């Protein structure tokens, strides 16, 4: 099973993974919008950093679930 197949299967069967995946996508969009803001605003920069940390946390948690799924289904 490929990584992409594992992600698809997790999206179909694991609500927690699906929620993390959707939140991660939403944060990507929000961070992208904040990165384009000009002139820079200290409050927005702080918010951008907070969102990036959350996004990274979600990515790490999803990666753990993917690895666990692949090890159980290989």
pLDDT in tens, 55-68: 999 999 999 999 99
Indicate the domain borders of the chain: 3-72
The percent of residues above 90 in pLDDT, for the chain, comes to: 84
Min mean pLDDT across 12-16, 41-45, 49-53, 58-62 is at: 41-45
Average pLDDT, the chain: 95
Quote the pTM value: 0.89
* DSSP string across 13-55: H-HHHHHHHHHHHHHHHHHHHHHT-SS--HHHHHHHHHHHHHH
């Amino acid at each position: 099973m490929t990584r992409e197949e594992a992600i698809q299967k997790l999206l179909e069967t694991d609500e927690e993974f699906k929620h993390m995946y959707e939140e991660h996508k939403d944060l990507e969009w929000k961070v992208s919008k904040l990165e384009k803001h000009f002139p820079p605003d200290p409050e927005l920069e702080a918010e951008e950093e907070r969102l990036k940390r959350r996004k990274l946390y979600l990515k790490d948690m999803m990666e753990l679930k993917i690895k666990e799924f692949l090890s159980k289904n290989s």
